[in-house]
Amino acid sequence: MKHLIAFAAVILSACASAPAGPTVDMPAFATLTGEPPIIIAHRGASGLYPEHTIKAYTAAIAQGADFIEPDLVMTKDGVLIARHDHYLSATTNVADHPEFADRKRVRATPLGDQDDWWTDDFTLAEIKTLKARQQFELRSMAYNDQLDIVTFDEVIDLVLASAAKGRPVGLHVEAKWPGYFSSVGLDMVDPILTALEKKGVKAAGVPVFIQCFEPPFLAALSEKSDLPTIQNMVGPPYAAMMGLDYKLEEMTTTTGVGAEKSMVVNKDGTVSDFVQRAHAMGLLVHVFTVRDDRPGEGFADSKAELRALINAGVDGIWVDYPETAVAVRGAR
C-alpha cells in the first residue's frame, strides 16, 4: 500500500469540490480509500482539442480534472516531449514539411514495421517547427496546424502556474517506450525525475503519479524516487503481441495498476472481481479510457459507463472529456 496514506490526503484535496456524502457509516465510494475517484484528463481534454497541447491541458484544468496526463517520449537531443507515440505522422503536420521528407524511415515495432517520422530522429528545435493535429476523424479539426508540440518542462510550468492561482492539478505522467529509448542511449528515468525536482513540483504541492506499461522502467524509477507508481496493464490481443502479458497478482511493488476498462466491467454491464482483487492487495485501480464519442460496448453513453466504473470502485478514470466525468462523479 505504498504511499497510500499520504496520497489519500492529496486525493481528498483534489476532490474537495465534490458534494458531501450521505451521513451514514458506509463510504460513498467503493474506492480503496473511500474517497471519490480521480478524474485524469487523458492527453488533456483530447476529445475537444489536439492531444497533448497546452490548449487541451488548459481546457482539462478548467473543466475540473484532478490530473492531466502527459505521455512522454524523447527527442534526439534528449528532451522529454508530450506525445503519445514516438512516431509523428498521426498527431503532427510533419508530412507537410518537405525539409523532413528524407527523415521518414521504416522501423520495426512490436506491432509490425512502420514507415514514419520518429521523435528521436529530430532535435527539439526541429520538433518545435511542427504543429499538432487531431488524429480522430470525427473530432474537431478546427485547431489543426496551430498548436505547438510541448516539452515536459512546459507541461510542468502549466500545472505550477495553475497551483499558484489556487487551482492545484496533478501530473499523471506516462513514460512511453522507455525500453526502446534506453536502448538508444536516451534513458528516461533521470530526465523525468530531474525535471520534476528542478521545477519544484513537490514543494508546490502538485501531486504526481508515474505510470508505464513496462515494469523495468517503474522498478528503475522506484530505486531513485518514492513517487507513487502505476503499472499499466493491457488486455488481449496486445498484451501478447507487445510482451506485456502479466497478471494482477504479479503487481507487488507498485502503488496501483492502470487497467483497461474491460478488465473491470463486462460487456453486459456486470462487474468483474478485478477491483476487489486489486484492493485486497492494497493496489489503486485507475482505468482507461472513457470517451463521450465512443462509449464502451454495452453502454448507452459515456455517462452510464462512468457510473458503472465508479460503482465498481475504481480509484481513477482516464477520460477524453473531463467535464462529463467530473459531472457524473459530482452527481453522487
Contacts with Ca ion, residue ranges (CB under 5 A): 71, 174
DSSP state of 238: H
| 84 interacts with ligand G3P by CB under 6 A | yes
Q: Among 155, 256, 142, 249, which residue's Cα sits nearest to residue 210?
A: 256
Q: Which residues pair with 40 in a beta bridge?
A: 67, 318
Instruction: Determine the Cα–Cα distance for residues 124 and 76; give it in Å rounded to an integer.
Output: 8
Residue number with CB closer to ligand G3P (18 or 242) = 242
Q: Which does 35 bind (CB under 5 to 8 A by kind): ligand G3P, Ca ion, none?
A: none
Q: Which does 258 bind (CB under 5 to 8 A by kind): ligand G3P, Ca ion, none?
A: ligand G3P
| 291 interacts with ligand G3P by CB under 6 A | no
Instruction: Determine the Cα–Cα distance for residues 53 and 150; give it in Å rounded to an integer.
Output: 6
> Cell 513496462 identifies what position?
214
Instruction: Determine the Cα–Cα distance for residues 272 and 279; give it in Å rounded to an integer.
Output: 13
Q: Which does 289 bind (CB under 5 to 8 A by kind): Ca ion, ligand G3P, none?
A: ligand G3P
Nearest approach in angstroms of CB 164 to ligand G3P is 27
Sole binder of ligand G3P in the list 75, 119, 229, 232 (CB under 6 A): 232
Nearest approach in angstroms of CB 212 to ligand G3P is 8
| 231 interacts with ligand G3P by CB under 6 A | no
* SS3 state of residue 71: strand
Instruction: Determine the Cα–Cα distance for residues 37 and 284; give it in Å rounded to an integer.
Output: 10
Residue number with CB closer to ligand G3P (258 or 313) = 258
Q: Which does 170 bind (CB under 5 to 8 A by kind): Ca ion, ligand G3P, none?
A: none
Nearest approach in angstroms of CB 115 to ligand G3P is 21
Q: Please, are residues 27 and 21 in contact by the beta-carbon 8 Å criterion?
A: yes
Instruction: Determine the Cα–Cα distance for residues 155 and 43; give it in Å rounded to an integer.
Output: 11
Q: Which does 85 bind (CB under 5 to 8 A by kind): ligand G3P, Ca ion, none?
A: none
| 57 interacts with ligand G3P by CB under 6 A | no
Q: Please, are residues 143 and 49 in contact by the beta-carbon 8 Å criterion?
A: yes
User: Which amino acid, residue 102?
Assistant: D
Q: Is 281 exposed, middle or buried (0-12, 13-18, 19+ CB in 10 A)?
A: middle
Residue number with CB closer to ligand G3P (84 or 279) = 84
Report 151-210 residues binding ligand G3P (CB under 6 A): 174
* SS3 state of residue 296: coil
Sole binder of ligand G3P in the list 7, 118, 209, 318 (CB under 6 A): 318
The C-alpha cell of 327 is what? 459531472
| 58 interacts with ligand G3P by CB under 6 A | no
Residue number with CB closer to ligand G3P (172 or 329) = 172
| Binding residues vs ligand G3P (CB under 6 A) | 42, 69, 71, 84, 174, 211, 232, 258, 288-289, 318
